[in-house]
Structures are given as structure tokens and as C-alpha cells.
Amino acid sequence: MSSPNASFVDAIRVTPHGGNKYSANLHRDWCIGTVPHGGYTAAVLYNLAVTHFAHAHPKQFDTPATPISLQLSFLRRTAAGPATLHVEDVKLGLRTSTIHVKLLQPSEKNPATLQVNVAGYITVSPATAEVGISAPTGWKPYPVPPAGSRANGQVDLFALACTGQDGSWTKLDPPYAEFRRAAAQLELYGPGKGQTQQQRTGTMAIDQWARFRPGGDQNGRWTDAAVVYLLDMFPMALDGFDTMSATAVAREKGEPGPTGSMANFWYPTVTLNVDMKKRLPRDGVEWLYSRIVTKVVRDGRTDLDVTVLDENGEVVALSTQVGLVVSASRNVGSRKWQKL
């Protein structure tokens, strides 16, 4: 019997080839349109760091090192299929080590030439080296998420799983699933769709609880690598972006409101910064909560601030990113949909 997340483990698999060179295969089921999802691609690079230190520096630390920080730039759109990965050791230290990573694929204009599509820095540290003070700050999500049915206002996750409903929280179907295929890898719950949530708070803030379902595996669990994918997975926020974008286009045309389908936009990641705050158990966890906030959308460029918490309200990871709002045709380009 395969273990939970087996398909995800395969999807982010990294193979060493010596000389700080590795390879991976970006899977089509983790794409947005024809482009591998940014969070999924970041998870591949997360696994690259883990694989690199296990393979190239097995004695650097007394326990396995895992990423605590990722700073990635998405320079060009990636493609489903083989990818070449390069690692440069920038700093090898006793507590933290930093590597420079590159993901290369054949150039679309000149397939015989490899070009860098994603590049960045990843800092790793073993759990045994993570020592020092810990202190509560009193931070909580604000506005406060809608209450669940429990007496303390928390969401009853067992009821949510069994019935798909708890208070105002309900199971959601990600919009435009055919285009955003990477969203099919999780089960999503929220207090309404994107536009509904944003009307409630008067801001572009989104709340969600999610369970990991890689390849449809009903026993999937959130692991540290899967959290990196989750930090870039917020279908209801994109639902709000779709409404906002379509409304803005209609206004420019002098029309009273959006007409026809709103699935005309793609929101590619330009830069992604991740701060891993808490390591999850080795076997993972079933539920994670995300608060997604956008402060400004201007000139086709957005910001996204994501906080992931566990069932106990402890922060698991933080991310910030710069994204673009562009036509969905930029995603497909000369590529054929059939290739998905």
C-alpha cells in the first residue's frame, strides 16, 4: 500500500547527478493552465535543498537540515516536463547554510539552449541547531475569522469534514478548476467564496481551512514541503481577483459590469519569499488554516501576504509575494491545451 502523499513525493522528486547538478520532472497535474504552479515549483526547490544536503553534505549537520527560508524569483514561465537544477554552495555554517539554486529548462525560442526560469536562495538549518528564546507576541488574524460552532468560536473541523458545513464555513469548489488544475490537489473550506468574504470584511482578506489531497489521496497530510505549495494556493483569493479584474476591464470599456466568463486572467508569481516558522510532525497534519491578504493592486501588479496556522493557532509559515495580473492568453501562448 502506498503511503499518504505518494503522488506528491513523486511530483517533487529530485535526482542527483553529481557536481551539484540535479534533475526533476514538473508534473502536468500541478499546473495553472500550461505553467507549473508557483507553490508547487517552490516545493520542488524545497526538496532540492533537502536532497542536496543529504547527498553533497551528509556530515554538515548532526540531523537532517530543512529549509527555514526561501527567496525565489520566477524569471520566465516554466513548463511541465524535465527540468535541470543547479546548486551553488554560498555559505556552509554550523547553524545555517545557504545555497543559490537555479531551475533551467529548454528555451521556448531556442530549445537547444537551457535558460534559467527560476532562481533564488534557500537557507537551511537542522532542528537541533534551532535554539534560543521563544516568546508569545499576542498576534492573531485580524479581522477575526468567522466563528465556527464550538463554544469558544473555533471551527469544528470534524463536523466540517463529515458534513461539509460548520457555522458559516462550508466546503468550496475552486473556480475554473480546468484551468487551475493545481487547485485540485487540496480540499478547501471557507466562509463563502472570494467576493462574499471580501464584502464581509471590506478588504481583500481571505480565510480558508484546507486538507491536502495529492492525486486524490483522501489520506493526504500536510508536510513541510506541502506547506510551501499551500502558501501559494488560495483559489478564493483569485476568485476575488477575477471579479475585481473583470470589473476594472468593464469600467475601462464604459460597461456597467463584467459580462461573460471572468476566467480571462492569470496571476503569475514574480517573487516569492517564505519563512518556515514551525516544523510539522514527520507524518504531517490533516488541517491547516490560511489567512491571505492583499493590500494594493496597482498597474497590473499585486502583493500577497499569507499566514499559515495549525489547529492550535500556532504559526507554521509566512510568505510574501509579488504577482502580476495578466491575460490568461499569456499563460498558454503558443502551447497547446491538449498537452495538459
Give the pTM: 0.90
Which parts of 148-305 fold into alpha helices (H)?
157-163, 194-201, 224-230, 235-252
What pLDDT sits at residue 338?
Answer: 34
The arrangement of secondary structure in 6-127, i.e. its CATH architecture, is Roll (3.10)
pLDDT digits (tens, 9 = 90+) for 225-253: 999 999 999 877 776 666 666 556 556 66
Tell which phi-psi region holds residue 242, choosing left (phi > 0), alpha (psi between -120 and 50) or beta: alpha
Q: What is the average pLDDT score of the chain?
A: 88
What pLDDT sits at residue 291?
Answer: 96
- Give the span between the Cα atoms of 15 and 23, in whole angstroms: 5
For residues 184 and 195, which has the higher predicted lDDT (pLDDT)? 184
- Give the span between the Cα atoms of 212 and 184, in whole angstroms: 10
Confidence label for 340 from pLDDT (cuts 50, 70 and 90): very low
CA 51 centroid distance within chain: 20
What pLDDT sits at residue 226?
Answer: 98
pLDDT digits (tens, 9 = 90+) for 316-339: 999 999 998 887 666 555 554 333
**Which DSSP symbol is given to 76?**
S
**Angle between helix 235-252 and helix 194-201 axes, rounded to 10 deg:** 80
pLDDT digits (tens, 9 = 90+) for 106-159: 998 999 999 999 999 999 999 999 999 999 999 999 888 999 999 999 999 999
For residues 202 and 48, which has the higher predicted lDDT (pLDDT)? 48
What pLDDT sits at residue 196?
Answer: 76
Domain locations in the chain as residue ranges: 6-127, 157-339
What pLDDT sits at residue 4?
Answer: 78
Region 34-55: mean pLDDT is: 97
Percent of the chain with pLDDT over 90: 69
CATH superfamily of 157-339: Hotdog Thioesterase (3.10.129.10)
What pLDDT sits at residue 258?
Answer: 56
What pLDDT sits at residue 328?
Answer: 67
Region 290-319: mean pLDDT is: 94
Cell of 176: 475554473
Confidence label for 59 from pLDDT (cuts 50, 70 and 90): very high
Q: How many CB atoms lie within 10 A of CB 17?
A: 11
- In sequence order, the β-bridge partners of residue 16 are 22
Cell of 252: 475601462
What pLDDT sits at residue 339?
Answer: 33
- Give the span between the Cα atoms of 117 and 147, in whole angstroms: 42
pLDDT digits (tens, 9 = 90+) for 208-225: 999 999 999 999 999 999
- Give the span between the Cα atoms of 248 and 253, in whole angstroms: 9
148 Cβ contact partners less than 8 Å away, ≥ 6 residues apart? 154, 155, 156, 160, 166, 167, 169
CB-count burial class (<10 Å; 0-12, 13-18, 19+) for 189? buried
